[in-house]
Each structure stands twice: as structure tokens, then as C-alpha cells.
A and B are shown apart, each in its own frame.
Chain A
Amino acid sequence: MAKQDACAVKRESARRTVEKIQSADWQLACQGLAECAIIADVEQTEDLLDLELLIPALTHLLGSLRSAVVKETLLCLDVLLARRASEFKEFVSSDTSSLFYALLEKSSFDKKFVMSSARNTLSLLVRSVPTARLLNAAVELTEHSRAQFREQVAVVIHEALLAMEIQEPEV
């Protein structure tokens, strides 16, 4: 009974964390992101954080003009990628609203320290997602109008090809 109660408390706490992340208040969002990283890191129960709900919210926050929010979002994504890498393939596509596209944008056009963090996260994503899926998304972006964006696409393709031999043939 006590175990069930503890589970319910954790679930409620995770739900509130996602609500904070979705909040319009940037300070509350930052607090939610920090909590989310802790939950993802400490609690190994996967159903506490629903990635289908969480990743679109994080992708939205990556577009924030506040560097603190973006940095916190990238840290949160790093933890999620370290813990639940296999679930990220759904979020890689050439669509402008995808996490992959948002990370390419941040890696190519922002303040230096934000770009550096975004490149690390993008690299983690490249190593987490099946190469074929990643390449299919990346080749569609090779004609982007911004040169720095195209450069990041080239980096991603290079990293994906380097990782090609050690991954599962999954699309």
C-alpha cells in the first residue's frame, strides 16, 4: 500500500514538472526543466515522463530567446538522451517542428556557448538514432538557405556515417 502511495506521489510530481515546462513563465519552465532532468536521471521508471508529451515542449523551449532556458533545455535533453536514447528516433525528421531541426538551428545560429551545448546534444542524438533514419532526414536539409545550417547538416551526416558500422539496420 505504502509502495503504491509512493508511486502515486512520484507520478503526480512528474505531471506537475511537465506542467511547469509547458508554462509561459520562463523561470517556472527552468525550474521544471531542472526537476525533469533529476527525475529522468534518478527515477528509472520510464512511464513517469511521457516523451510524446515532453519532447514537443522541449523543442518549443529551444526556440526561446532566453539563453538560460535554452541551456537548461539542452541539459535536460542530454540526460534524457543518456537514459532513454532508444526512444528518440520518433523525433528525428526534416520537419521544421522536429527536435532534430531545432537542434540544427541552435547548433548553427546562436551565442557561442549555446551553440557549443547544442552541438553536444546533437552529437548525442546522432549516436542514439538509427543511422538510416538520421541520414534520410539530413539529406533533405542539405539545401537549406543558411550556410551555417548546411554546415551542421554536413557534420551530422559525417558523424552518422562514422557510426554506421556499429548500429542496428533500423529505419
Chain B
Amino acid sequence: MMLHPVDSNIERIFKQAIPSSILVKAIFTLVSQIRSCWRENLFTKQANDAHQGTRRFGRLAARQYQVIFCEENSAETWDLLLQQQLGATLYLLTMKWYRASGHPR
């Protein structure tokens, strides 16, 4: 999978403009928001993989991704993103394992 050209441009601009390590976390959160391909991979492929071990670590990764995302965004935005990107069936499945593993939602 190739990076979207817009993604790499934004990343380049940020790297040029703000080299300070103080802003590392903020930049990274922003970049991680842009990387929708990562999110898509985590939720549609890994977290719902046919293999149990892959599913387990895929879900842990998806949860970690959500933690990073929600540092800068509201839980509602996250929920909206999932609804938009996953489609009805996958969204319901995701909510099922979210609830089963003690997620507040």
C-alpha cells in the first residue's frame, strides 16, 4: 500500500517547519489521524481476522490506536469515524468486541 501523496506532503511540511522534539507527540498524533490506511488495516483486516491470535493482537493494536487518537479528539469523533469507515456489519462486530472486552462504549 502506498502512502497517499497528500499524507507525505503534510508530513514533509511538518518535519521542515517544526523540528523541535517538544512538538513530537502533537505532530505524531496529527500524522496518525491522517493515516486512515492504518486505521482501515487495523479494523477491517487485523481486528476481525479469521485467525484468533491475529484477532487478539489486532484488537489490542486497534485499542492502542484509539487511545492515541482520543488524546486529541473526542470519543464522539472516534465513534463517527468508525461508523463512516467500517460499514454497518463491521461496525456492529467492532462494538461487540469493544463491549465484550470491557470498553466503556
Contacts and interface: CB of A to CB of B under 8 A. Distances in A.
Contacts of A153: 46, 54
A168 B23 CA distance: 10
Nearest to B14: A169
Given A158-B60, A161-B64, A169-B15, A150 B42 contact: no
Given A136-B3, A161-B65, A171 B11 contact: yes
A153 B25 CA distance: 24
Given A135-B38, A157-B42, A169-B27, A150 B51 contact: yes
A140 interface: yes
Interface string A70-82: 0000000000000
Where chain B touches its partner, the secondary structure class is helix
Nearest to A94: B1
A9 interface: no
Contacts of A157: 42, 46, 57-58, 61
Interface of B: 1, 3, 8, 11, 14-15, 21, 24-25, 27-28, 31-32, 35, 37-38, 41-42, 45-46, 49-51, 53-58, 60-61, 64-65, 68
